[in-house]
Structure 1
Amino acid sequence: MIAMLREHASTLIVSALSALFAVTLILFTGILTAAIDPAVIEESGTFRAVLMMVALIFIMIALYVGAIVTANTFSTIIAGRTRTIALLRLVGASSARVRARIAGEGLVAGLVGGVAGFGIAVALCAAVTAWGPQLGWLPAGRDYPLFDPLALVAVGVVALTTWAAAWSGSRRVGRVSPIAATGAAIELPAEQSRRRPARTVWATILLVTGAALLAIGIVLGLMTPLALLISFLGGILSFTGIALGAHLVMPPLLRLSGRALGRGPSGRLAVANAVRFPERSARSTIGLVIGVTLVTMFAVALASYETMTLQAFAHSPALKAGLAETLAVTTAVFTGLVGFSAVIAAVGLVNTLSLSVLQRTRELGLLRVLGFTGAQVRRMVLVESAQMTLTALGFGLLLGVFYGWAAAQSLLGSQAGLMAPTVPWPIIGGVAVFGLVLALVAAAAPARRAIRVSPVAALAAQ
């Protein structure tokens, strides 16, 4: 039971954060609508619709990140359950039945996490509406809603998304044969990982289609702001292609970053481990790539948006000053919203690395028998974490700058023309520092666990 709770801790946290994010946005949209002057609402009948559209985009982003992190988590869980699954197959259980059982675990975890997130979101909104008028955040004497049927829909979507992610992550169950009952955790080596034509073809199709839609959105952005919707779809498709083909994309990047870290026996072994099993490394890094990409994308998009907007209204100093203040508040709000997705991605990295080390007990014990000290094993785990984090940071920053520029260009290209991206270096520096701290935090517990087990006990582990 403890092992199962440990396995699904990440899924529970991710689903709770996703539900908290979605429900909070939905309820705050209603609260914000109630706080706005009724005359403004009456004059602009589309005000709530626009707010809900923006909220929907952020909700979709949070669900998207949560689904990928959950799918990666369940893929790691399946790799560690190879022996148990093989034994079930040996006594007659079909792969479909075993897979349905695993997907059921995902559904339960999604429901529990979704309900927890819903409760926290309602409590948070209740606190804001209770204290907001006293603190001057909200107008007094208004009837602020604390329930919206869409909030329940959001919880249901979180649960279904978690179930679908668990089903997707358990797809390798069908490849576990009864003979595998004699082994432990199984990961596909580099050669077999590359020989997956269907996955490679789909990744290529999504990447090419998404890139084409991004190009179309940028061009159409010179004529209409609605091109942002096309670019948004292109960004989702292209990044999905990158995530689906991560087993091909990440190993070369890991090799590149490994050259800076792979010194000494522990460092060289850590670099080799990251490349030897591309799927395991891809699962560990792609979640953080998503978080870094999102934060960077919105930071660059908002900075570019501010530059373009202020340039478009440069002829009116008063309007320009008002816009600058509004944009500053908007940037702070959006940064907080995107931070939720970054936290989800960080949880995925920490949990995947922890599960990976837990499932490699025999391997680590063999290293101790061959003469590795506890300090060398700990350093190997730390270097693996640093290598994955460094790779995810570099790749995510590049993707984020491009996606952020594409979003701003699609939205405001018709007003400002074609412009270079505005890069907010303080935020980029903050993302880099966060990544370095995360690398140490993510590796701390697994590193302690790696040296806590004696070599003899580790070799006896199943």
Structure 2
Amino acid sequence: MLKVSLRNLAGTKVRLLLSLLAIALSVAFVAGTLVLRDTIMTVTRAAAEAGAADVTVRPSSETETLTAAQAERVRRVDGVDAVFAEIDVSDVSVLDRRNQAVTVVKNAPTEAGNWQTTGRAPVRLAAGRAPAGDGEVMIDKDSAANSGVRIGDQVRVAATPGGFDGTVVGLAEYTTPNPGKNLVFLDDRTAATRLLGVPDGVTAIKAYAASGVSEEVLRQRIRSALGSSFDVLTKTQIVAESGVDDSVDLVTYVMLGFAGIAVLVGTFLIFNTFSMLIAARTRELGLLRAVGATGRQVRRAVVTEAFVLGLVGSTVGLALGIGAAAALRGAAAGFGLDLSSVALEVTPLAPIVSYLVGTIVTVASALLPARRAGRTTPIAALRVADLPADPRSRPRTLVGGALVVLGVAALATRSAGALVFGVAASLIGLVVLGPVLVRVALPVLGAVAVRLFGAVGRLGTRNTLRSTRRTAATAAALMIGVAVAAALSVVSASMSSSMADRIDRTLGADFTIVRSGKGQPPLTGDVAAAVRTVPGVGQVVRQRESRVDIVGGSRLTKGGWVQGVDPDFPAVFRQNYVSGSPTDSLASGKIVLSQSYAQDFGLAVGDRIDLRGPAGSATVQVGAIRAPDPPGMSLGRSDAPFVTMELLTRIAPAAQDALIMVNAAPGKDKTAVGAALTKALAGFPQASVRDQAAYKEFAQTQATTVLMLVYAMLGLAVLIAILGVINTLALSVLERFREIGMLRAVGLTRRQVTHMIGIESTVIALTGTALGLLLGLGWGVGAQQAMSSRGMEILAVPWLVVGAIVLAGVVAGLVAAIAPARRAARMDPVTAIATA
């Protein structure tokens, strides 16, 4: 029987080609994702390890800094070979002489600090020299090359204590692949003054162990020397804390989720292929039974064919996946991540998962056809092979209908927990009900085809009705991809509409000046000063932030964010409040808490809370509690308490503005004021000016960008679904070889044969598209209802997108018909009729 299986595979290799391709594409998605994940993780982990010392000392609170004197104490600890008093901040941006951001790629984060001279840093001098005084800076060579900055050029650095100018005297480069960051280095004293505002301050003390001293032993010695008021961490702890694994894993899980959709779609293609091949080999299987093969042996033979097909497809897919990962290394440079010189990291996980996915899915998809093959009787060898009857199953209808009803009921509950069950139940229900729905939908589509194409349209429609299970399985593959796309389109449109509505009702400022770029560089005081000088500007309301220690009730939060706002802030950003008045609170010097913050601290209006900043402390009374901000409508840090600007400035003098809201003066042209603001802030790339329309557009652009990425990842699933349509039609043409020859003999022209196959394909594609739209719109509406209490208050159906999906379904059907229709049209009638 093994020989029979291998011989069948060799004899039907052309018919199995599309199934092989579906397996390979699905496995390639999985393998490519895992290989790229392992490669990126290796690079990011190497960067984290290269930057970590054997032991790192940090302040226990964000409001504190270490000092150079404490670094000297660490240097005297037994077992310390070298010490680096590090200054490292990320809220910085660098401008060139044209006031353009100096960056390796757009919005890349910038890290600024002092140049390390221990020789153990993950960066080295590439050109020029290290900075040696105020007014000298060093930047990394990648951002310099991308921005056209050379040694000797003037740049401006915007930091929290204020902006300053400097001359580029050197270029640095990573000793590991660039992880996508911009670097700025100053000498020790300048970095402390310009970046921290503390002349002898440092952000961390890095200690390197002498030979033979373990990092844990050194950590204990340093902790004993400094006391327990600091965080003393080993290199292992620092690398684990960096979170590189978590961030990469998040992307990996999302991509594997879409790979799972592609695999699911591929199962329908494989199932149809084996079902049709088993039907075509009925006489052969009956003959095997007649000569002594048992039903179990026949089943094993079919499963063996599926197993071998899965192995071959997995091998091809693994190779394609590795190739795709290699190609994407170049694309990573667009995000500032340099993988060009890095070898791909192919761990055992990628091949193991690839072969498991490819073989298990293929074998599982072939089990039902194998079971049918095992039931073939010896007498079947004497019958003329024909399409099997399509039995009507009452249990199928009842089970499928019950699942759809349960799914719809779950989607209607407006519960996020029930949403997942509703999606799964409705999907499985529609797949089970597929043949029943096909029998209902195809006559409707057939009537249109008959009206347009006459007898050819009738032939094409009836061919799809001959095996409703086959048609339903083929359509189901396309249905899944369309359903996910439609659901996400509804969610995206509803989110955008809800955000726009909230902006209209909440934001009372004509213009909002926000921080742009990663790392959130501050809006330094000269930004607000420039805004006030713009002709036509009336009201200017600032929001600034700083980390302070917060003591409320019995809880202490070290380095918690607190915002300082101008008195008019509640009037220009209209939030909902659970209790108290924000205007009265600010007027009387009280603090306003978010509802979640108050619940965590166990505080209510009238309770007192202590704020301890770098320059002083204050005890304030809770004056108001605000409701949570809807998603996408947070200005600044949504959960952070806010106090008066004067209070925050007194306890944290280095705090800088995070947001500036501006209203045009009465009677002034807002368009002209907006243009003047943009011009005045051209020299501050960390500041982005948005009017309400631009704010809405920004929110919508974010949603659209995510949606486009989702569409791109769904593209593979849709491609496999289209391959499924091609596969079904191609095998159907072979199955109806004599029939098509007979039609040609009685007068059907080649063009009519082409039209007939095209109608079959289009009807199948439209059936899958229609069911997918029905399912996806239901999912989208259910998701919107479930999230209506979380800010997605408006239901919006993007009818243009729906129309585009229908059009894409028609195009997919026509494209899928090209190859099978061409083969059918070229068929020689005499040869076809003579085929037994």
- The TM-score range, normalised by the shorter chain, is 0.7 to 0.9
Which of 1 and 2 has higher RCO (CA within 8 Å, sep 6+)? 1
Q: What amino acid sits opposite 1:104 in the alignment?
A: T
Structure 1 residue runs without a partner (length 5+) = 222-226
Where 2:13 maps in the other structure, the secondary structure is: helix
The residue number in structure 1 matching 2:667 is none
- The reply on whether 1:282 has 2:472 as its aligned counterpart is yes
**Which residue, out of 740, 743, 755, partners 1:379?**
755
1:50-98, Cα deviation, whole Å (9 max, x unpaired): 4444334323322221222211222122222222222222222223221
Contact conserved, 1:354 with 1:446, CA < 8 A, in 2? yes
Where 2:346 maps in the other structure, the secondary structure is: coil
Give the Å deviation of 1:105. 1.5
Distance in structure 1 (CA, Å) of the matches to 2:817 and 2:370: 26
The residue number in structure 2 matching 1:203 is 400
Moved more, 272-281 or 338-347: 272-281
C-alpha change, 1:376 and 1:44, in structure 2 (3 Å) is closer
Structure 2 residue runs without a partner (length 5+) = 1-8, 45-178, 182-237, 503-629, 636-691
Moved more, 315-324 or 375-384: 315-324
Moved more, 172-181 or 32-41: 32-41
Identity of aligned residues (%): 31
The residue number in structure 2 matching 1:179 is 379
The residue number in structure 1 matching 2:812 is 438
The residue number in structure 1 matching 2:614 is none
Distance in structure 2 (CA, Å) of the matches to 1:141 and 1:362: 56
The residue number in structure 1 matching 2:596 is none
The residue number in structure 1 matching 2:351 is 152
Contact conserved, 2:733 with 2:824, CA < 8 A, in 1? yes
Distance in structure 2 (CA, Å) of the matches to 1:56 and 1:359: 36
Give the Å deviation of 1:346. 0.7
Where 1:193 maps in the other structure, the secondary structure is: coil
The residue number in structure 2 matching 1:57 is 257
Contact conserved, 1:103 with 1:163, CA < 8 A, in 2? yes
Q: What amino acid sits opposite 1:289 in the alignment?
A: M
The residue number in structure 2 matching 1:75 is 275
Give the Å deviation of 1:214. 3.4
Q: Superposition RMSD on alpha carbons, in Å?
A: 3.3
Moved more, 177-186 or 2-11: 177-186
1:116-172, Cα deviation, whole Å (9 max, x unpaired): 222222222223325633x45525799796335543343112321111101133332
Give the Å deviation of 1:323. 4.8
1:299-335, Cα deviation, whole Å (9 max, x unpaired): 3333334444564334746986765454343222211
Distance in structure 2 (CA, Å) of the matches to 1:60 and 1:214: 23
1:204-255, Cα deviation, whole Å (9 max, x unpaired): 4543444444345xx223xxxxx3xx53343233212222221111121111
**Which residue, out of 467, 474, 487, partners 1:297?**
487
Where 2:798 maps in the other structure, the secondary structure is: coil
- The reply on whether 1:354 has 2:730 as its aligned counterpart is yes
The residue number in structure 2 matching 1:252 is 440
Distance in structure 2 (CA, Å) of the matches to 1:89 and 1:203: 35
1:190-212, Cα deviation, whole Å (9 max, x unpaired): xx521x24444443454344444
Distance in structure 2 (CA, Å) of the matches to 1:256 and 1:71: 27
Distance in structure 1 (CA, Å) of the matches to 2:698 and 2:742: 65
Structure with the larger strand share:
2
Q: What amino acid sits opposite 2:759 in the alignment?
A: V
C-alpha change, 1:210 and 1:76, in structure 2 (3 Å) is farther
The residue number in structure 1 matching 2:455 is 265
**Which residue, out of 109, 118, 127, partners 2:309?**
109
Aligned residue pairs, count: 447
**Which residue, out of 365, 372, 383, partners 2:741?**
365
TM-score (norm 2): 0.49
Structure of greater Rg: 2
Distance in structure 1 (CA, Å) of the matches to 2:750 and 2:256: 49
C-alpha change, 1:132 and 1:418, in structure 2 (3 Å) is closer
Contact conserved, 1:83 with 1:181, CA < 8 A, in 2? yes
Distance in structure 1 (CA, Å) of the matches to 2:437 and 2:769: 14
Distance in structure 1 (CA, Å) of the matches to 2:248 and 2:696: 25
TM-score (norm 1): 0.84
The residue number in structure 1 matching 2:834 is 460
Where 1:7 maps in the other structure, the secondary structure is: coil
Q: What amino acid sits opposite 1:117 in the alignment?
A: G
The residue number in structure 1 matching 2:790 is 415
Distance in structure 1 (CA, Å) of the matches to 2:370 and 2:498: 46
Give the Å deviation of 1:21. 1.6
Give the Å deviation of 1:182. 3.6
C-alpha change, 1:409 and 1:70, in structure 2 (3 Å) is farther
- The reply on whether 1:4 has 2:23 as its aligned counterpart is no
The residue number in structure 1 matching 2:29 is 21
Moved more, 269-278 or 64-73: 269-278
- The reply on whether 1:84 has 2:458 as its aligned counterpart is no
Contact conserved, 2:762 with 2:812, CA < 8 A, in 1? no
Distance in structure 1 (CA, Å) of the matches to 2:253 and 2:431: 25
The residue number in structure 2 matching 1:241 is 429
Give the Å deviation of 1:344. 0.9
